[in-house]
Amino acid sequence: MKEQLRKIKEDAFAALNNAASAKEIDDIKVKILGKKGEITAILKQMGKLSAEERPAMGKIANEVRADIENKIEEAKAKVKEKELAVRLAVEEIDITMPGNKNPLGHKHPLSIVIEEIEDIFMGMGYEIAEGPEVELDYYNFQALNIPENHPAKDEQDTFYVKGGKKKGDILLRTQTSPVQVRVMEKGKLPIRIVCPGKVYRADEVDATHSPIFHQLEGLVVDENITMGDLKGALAVFAKELFGEDTKVRFRPHHFPFTEPSAEMDVTCFACGGKGCRVCKGEGYIELLGCGMVHPKVLKMSGIDPDKYSGFAFGMGLERVAMQRYGITDLRYLYENDVKFLKQF
């Protein structure tokens, strides 16, 4: 029996020395010390011993059990240490390695220009208005005094979502001017708004044309608004956008929804008005269309033209951005080439 116990201990120690995981150690523990384990089996045979032999054998059995229990704890600690070493090796982080850079984007030149213009007008007390890009023919044309068969509709051919060129038809707006009507219809006076947004025309893409581009519309309606107010507001705007020395010039023009109408030029940002390649020797560059809101347009939108008057203006934002940054081809603005966009 003594011999058996010695053998059990020896085998147990050997097995524990080789154990590579906590699970293996637990299995060994059950096999030797468990209820159906080897030591228990031996203890069960104690009854066969004489009364004198029993205490000595019991003592040896208990010692073997204690030795094995200690050895198990030791083996467990060893395995844990090994596992930790493996984890540390696998999960090692080289803190000297360069981190993952998340390149920070920045604003598109068009967005920069839009925000700048918005800021200038907000500084003058204007609010920002919005209107739908998918628009009724009524707002895009009819309510702006452009009736069904008006030739101006050919110049602004667009994409029709439903029908074509009649009052109830739906189209992609060709200008931001319909927002004027939508704001006036709300009937809250006085009005002082600017509205930037996308517009659409069935144009071929080239260096100065794109079927989608951006405009910014402005509208002021109140009592006693005159052409003097229009000129003053737009001259201040031009100075803020292009610099204090910028001069403006108004040329008579025609738009169906304003009367009188004009186009406003600003002194060339490149030569300051002397005449150069950029302004083709003119000294001035065309910036926007404007005029006094046509009485018919006021009336159609529910505003009494005998009591109120107003002015409106509209400009192409790609053109402003191109002038501002000396961009010679409009297509650069849409190509999303990071090398190009980074410059602004």
Q: What's the min distance (Å) between Cβ of 209 and ligand DAH?
A: 13
Report the distance separating Cα 183 and Cα 322, nearest Å: 30
Q: Which stretch binds ligand DAH (CB under 6 A): 39-47, 82-90, 276-284, 309-317?
A: 309-317
State which amino acid sits at residue 268.
Answer: C
Q: Which is nearer to ligand DAH, 155 or 244 (CB)?
A: 155
Taking CB positions, which residue lies at the least distance from ligand DAH?
314
Cis peptide, bond prior to residue 190, ω within 30 of zero: yes
* H/E element, 185: helix 178-185
Of the candidates 217, 265, 286, 318, which one interacts with ligand DAH according to CB under 6 A? 217
Q: What's the min distance (Å) between Cβ of 263 and ligand DAH?
A: 8
Cis peptide, bond prior to residue 260, ω within 30 of zero: yes
Contact indicator for 321, 186 with CB cutoff of 8 Å: no
Buried b (16+ CB within 10 A) or exposed e, 176-205: bbbbbbbbbeeeeeebbbbbbbebbbeeee
Q: Enumerate residues 318-337 that contact ligand DAH by CB under 6 A.
A: none
Answer yes or no whether residue 312 interacts with ligand DAH by CB under 6 A.
yes
Q: Which stretch binds ligand DAH (CB under 6 A): 40-48, 83-91, 162-170, 312-320?
A: 312-320
* H/E element, 23: helix 22-33
Q: Which is nearer to ligand DAH, 33 or 212 (CB)?
A: 212
Of the candidates 213, 237, 269, 313, which one interacts with ligand DAH according to CB under 6 A? 313
Q: Which is nearer to ligand DAH, 12 or 303 (CB)?
A: 303
Can you name the residues that pair with 250 across neighbouring β-strands?
A: 264
Q: What's the min distance (Å) between Cβ of 195 and ligand DAH?
A: 10
Of the candidates 110, 114, 191, 290, which one interacts with ligand DAH according to CB under 6 A? 290
Contact indicator for 265, 238 with CB cutoff of 8 Å: no
Q: What's the min distance (Å) between Cβ of 143 and ligand DAH?
A: 13
Please state, as a whole number, how many other Cβ atoms lie within 10 Å of the Cβ of residue 241.
19
Of the candidates 140, 145, 177, 301, which one interacts with ligand DAH according to CB under 6 A? 177
Q: Which is nearer to ligand DAH, 217 or 286 (CB)?
A: 217
Q: Which is nearer to ligand DAH, 68 or 312 (CB)?
A: 312
Q: What's the min distance (Å) between Cβ of 218 and ligand DAH?
A: 7
Of the candidates 158, 258, 301, 323, which one interacts with ligand DAH according to CB under 6 A? 258
Report the distance separating Cα 192 and Cα 80, nearest Å: 75
Q: What's the min distance (Å) between Cβ of 131 and ligand DAH?
A: 13
Answer yes or no whether residue 255 interacts with ligand DAH by CB under 6 A.
yes
Of the candidates 169, 291, 301, 303, which one interacts with ligand DAH according to CB under 6 A? 291
Q: Enumerate residues 52-111 that contact ligand DAH by CB under 6 A.
A: none
Pairing of strands 309-316, 212-222: antiparallel
Q: Distance of CA 65 to CAs 13, 16, 58, 335, Å?
A: 12, 14, 10, 80
Q: In the chain, how long is the greatest CA-to-CA distance? A: 132
Answer yes or no whether residue 140 interacts with ligand DAH by CB under 6 A.
no
> Which residues of the chain form beta strands (DSSP E)?
127-128, 134-136, 160-162, 170-172, 191-200, 212-222, 248-255, 258-267, 284-293, 309-316
Of the candidates 140, 142, 158, 175, which one interacts with ligand DAH according to CB under 6 A? 175
Q: What's the min distance (Å) between Cβ of 300 and ligand DAH?
A: 15
Residue with tokens 């705007």: 237
Residues making contact with ligand DAH (CB under 6 A): 175, 177, 217, 255, 258, 289-291, 312-314
